[in-house]
Chains A and B, each alone.
Chain A
Amino acid sequence: MGELRLMKGNEVIAEAAIRCGCDAYFGYPITPQSEVMETLMNREPWDETGMVVLQAESEVASINMVYGAAGTGKKVLTSSSSPGISLMAEGISYIAGAELPCVIVNVQRGGPGLGTIQPSQADYFQSTKGGGHGDYRLIVLAPSSVQEMNDFVDLAFKLAFKYRNPAMILADGAIGQMMEKVELSDFVPRKTDTEIETEYGNWATTGKKANRSKNVITSLELDSVLMEQNNLRFQAKYRQMEEEEVRYEMIQCDDAEYILVAFGSSARICQKSVDIARAKGLKVGLIRPITLFPFPTKPIAELAERVKGFMTVEMNAGQMIEDVRLAVGCSGNSKPVIYFGRMGGIIPSPGEVVEALEQKLIGG
C-alpha cells in the first residue's frame, strides 16, 4: 500500500506529477489552483528528480512552453483555472494539431469572464467540444475525489502518450481545495534521453541522428489534400478513444427507475442524493462519467432501455445534458432527460437535488 496522507486536491496534482516521472511543469498562478505550483516550488523536485518547474509570465507563455517541451518527447504538465484555460486555448489547439502529448489541469471556477473563484463546471463545453479552433478533441478526465486527482495524473499521461494528444483533467474549485485521505503512488523515475529516443524517436525532436530522417513538429499544412489527411487521422484517433477509453461509474443503477447523471464534485453530491432518495423509497441511481470525452454514450443508451428518466446535475446552465440527450436519442427511446444545477460558484445541496428530482422528473 502506498503512503497515506491528508492532502488538498491541488497539492496532490503536484505530488502525483513528481511521482509519475513528470519532466516539466509550466504555469501561471490563478485561484483556486495556485497550490499546484506552490506545492511544486516547495517540494523543489529539480533536486530530487530533475523535474523543471517554471512560473511563466502568462498562461499564453505557459502553454507554449508546454508545446515546445512536449515536442521533445518529455512528460509536460500545466494547470490553470477557467479564465487561464481560455488564454491557453490557442496553444492547446496547436498542440492537438501537432499531435503532441501533454496534460492540462483545469480547476474550474465560475464564469463567464473573471467571474468568481468559487467552484463551477461551466467549462464542460470548452473542454469536450473544442475550446480552441479546429476539429480537435481532448481526452477529458473528471476526478470526483482527491484520490482521483492523484490517480488521473498518471492515467492522463498514459492516455496522452498512447494517442499523442493533449489530455485534460477537468476538476473544480471544490476538488482542488478540499482535503481527503489519499494513497500516493509510488515513485517512477523520469525517462532517460535514451528511453525517449527508443520509444518516441519516430516523432520527438530529440536531435537528428544519421540513421533516421528528421522529425518535424508543426500544426501547419498548407496543402489541403494533406491537411484533410491529417484531419482524417485525428478523427480516427478520436473514434479509437471512443472505442477503448470510455470510463464511468454506476452507483445503485441495477434496479433504478430514475438516473442522475453527474461528474466531478456534482457526482459526490449526487451520491448523497441517491441515499436520501432511496431512504424515501425512490429507486434512484447515479451514473458518473469519468471520461467526459470520450463520453459514456453506450451505457447511458443501455440504461434508457429500462429506466423512466434521467436528470443531469451540473454546476452550470446545463451543458452535459446535450450529450445525455444524444445518448438517450441514440437508443431510440424517448425517455425524459432534464437538468438541474446551480451556477456562479453555488454548489447544490444533496437535498436540493432530490427535491428537483421529485418535482421535475418523478412528479413532472
Chain B
Amino acid sequence: MTEEIIIAGFGGQGVLSMGKILAYSGVMQGKEVTWFPSYGPEMRGGTANVTVILSDDRISSPILHEFDTAIILNQQSLDKFENEVKPGGTLLYDPNGIVHPPTRTDINIYKIDGTKIAAEMGNVKTFNMVVLGAYLKVRPVVAMESIRKGLEKSLPERHHKLIPMNLQAIEAGQQQLEAVLEV
C-alpha cells in the first residue's frame, strides 16, 4: 500500500502539523513515511502545503506532481491541486471560502465543514484534526490507535492534556463527512 497525499491551505490553518501527525501515526504503525513541506518566505495567511507519503515499501520520490488524495483548505489550493489528483483518486475539501467548487468527474469528492464543526466544538484550533478525521474516514490508512500515539509523539508533553480534545475533533470529522461524488 502506498498513499500519496497533498495537504494545502493557508498558513496558520495547521496544514503542516496535520501532515506531521499523520506521518508520525504512520511511523507508529511501522510504515515508511515522508513529509515534504513547501518552505519559503511563508507566513500566516499565505499558502502552505505539505506532501505526505505513507507506504509499506521504501519510498522513492518524496516530491510529487500527482497525488492519490488532495486535502484542500482554500480556493487557491483547490485551483492549484484539483488537476493533480490521479484519476480515481480522492479530493477532500472544506467548503468555507470556496467560491468555485471542484468540477472534475473522474475523482471521488468529499466535503468536510471543518471550520464550522471546530467552532461548534468550542475550539477553532482543532480544525485541522476535524479535517484529518474526515480524511481517515475516506482513507483509513492508519488505525486510530496509531493516531493517538502519533499525537503523543508530535505534541510536546506540556500539550498532552489536549490529546483527548484532538481525538474528539477527529471523531467529529469522521462522523460529519459528506460525500459529493463517488466514482
Interface residue ranges, A against B (CB under 8 Å): 4-6, 31-32, 117-118, 173-174, 177-181, 265, 268-269, 271-275, 347, 349-351
**B36 and A6 within 8 A (CB):** no
Subset of 12 A-B contacts with CB under 8 Å = A6-B35, A6-B153, A174-B36, A177-B39, A179-B20, A179-B36, A180-B33, A265-B62, A265-B63, A349-B65, A350-B64, A351-B66
- The 8 Å CB contact of B33, one of A6, A32, A118, is A6
Number of residues from B at the complex interface, CB < 8 A:
25
**B39 and A271 within 8 A (CB):** no
Residues of B within 8 A of A272 (CB): 60-61
**A178 and B40 within 8 A (CB):** no
Residues of A within 8 A of B41 (CB): 117
**A6 and B27 within 8 A (CB):** yes
* New A-B contacts (11) at CB < 8 Å, excluding given A32-B39, A265-B62, A268-B62: A5-B27, A174-B36, A174-B62, A178-B34, A178-B62, A180-B34, A272-B61, A275-B60, A349-B63, A350-B61, A351-B66
Residues of B within 8 A of A174 (CB): 36, 62-63
Rounded to whole Å, the gap between the CB of B80 and the closest CB of chain A is 15
Residues of A within 8 A of B153 (CB): 5-6
Kindly state whether residue B32 has any CB partner on chain A within 8 Å: yes
Residues of B within 8 A of A347 (CB): 63
Residues of A within 8 A of B23 (CB): 6, 179
Distance between Cα atoms of A174 and B62 in the complex (Å): 9
Distance between Cα atoms of A347 and B65 in the complex (Å): 10
Kindly state whether residue B24 has any CB partner on chain A within 8 Å: yes
Kindly state whether residue B89 has any CB partner on chain A within 8 Å: no
**A181 and B63 within 8 A (CB):** no
**A177 and B37 within 8 A (CB):** yes
Distance between Cα atoms of A5 and B81 in the complex (Å): 30
Rounded to whole Å, the gap between the CB of A76 and the closest CB of chain B is 28
Rounded to whole Å, the gap between the CB of B18 and the closest CB of chain A is 13
Residue of B nearest to A271 (CB): B60
Rounded to whole Å, the gap between the CB of B5 and the closest CB of chain A is 14
Residue of A nearest to B41 (CB): A117
Contacts A178-B35, A180-B33, A181-B32 known; A118 to B40 CB distance under 8 Å?
A: yes
Distance between Cα atoms of A357 and B34 in the complex (Å): 26
Distance between Cα atoms of A117 and B42 in the complex (Å): 12
Residues of B within 8 A of A349 (CB): 63-65
Interface centre among B20, B39, B60, B66 (most CB of A within 10 A): B60
Interface Cβ pair total, 8 Å cutoff: 72
Rounded to whole Å, the gap between the CB of B20 and the closest CB of chain A is 7
**B60 and A179 within 8 A (CB):** no
Distance between Cα atoms of A275 and B57 in the complex (Å): 13
**A179 and B61 within 8 A (CB):** no
Residues of A within 8 A of B27 (CB): 4-6, 181
Residues of B within 8 A of A181 (CB): 26-27, 31-33
**B65 and A117 within 8 A (CB):** no
Contacts A6-B20, A6-B24, A6-B27 known; A178 to B60 CB distance under 8 Å?
A: no
**A269 and B35 within 8 A (CB):** no
Residues of A within 8 A of B37 (CB): 177-178
Rounded to whole Å, the gap between the CB of B124 and the closest CB of chain A is 26
Rounded to whole Å, the gap between the CB of A315 and the closest CB of chain B is 11
Contacts A6-B24, A6-B27, A179-B23 known; A269 to B63 CB distance under 8 Å?
A: yes
**A268 and B36 within 8 A (CB):** no
**A117 and B40 within 8 A (CB):** yes
**A173 and B39 within 8 A (CB):** yes
Residues of B within 8 A of A275 (CB): 60
Rounded to whole Å, the gap between the CB of B46 and the closest CB of chain A is 15
Distance between Cα atoms of A275 and B20 in the complex (Å): 27
- The 8 Å CB contact of B61, one of A31, A173, A177, A269, is A269
**B61 and A271 within 8 A (CB):** yes
Rounded to whole Å, the gap between the CB of A94 and the closest CB of chain B is 33
Residues of A within 8 A of B35 (CB): 6, 178-180
Residues of A within 8 A of B33 (CB): 6, 179-181
Residue of B nearest to A8 (CB): B35
Residues of B within 8 A of A4 (CB): 27
Residue of A nearest to B150 (CB): A6
Residue of B nearest to A117 (CB): B40
Residues of A within 8 A of B60 (CB): 268-269, 271-272, 274-275, 350
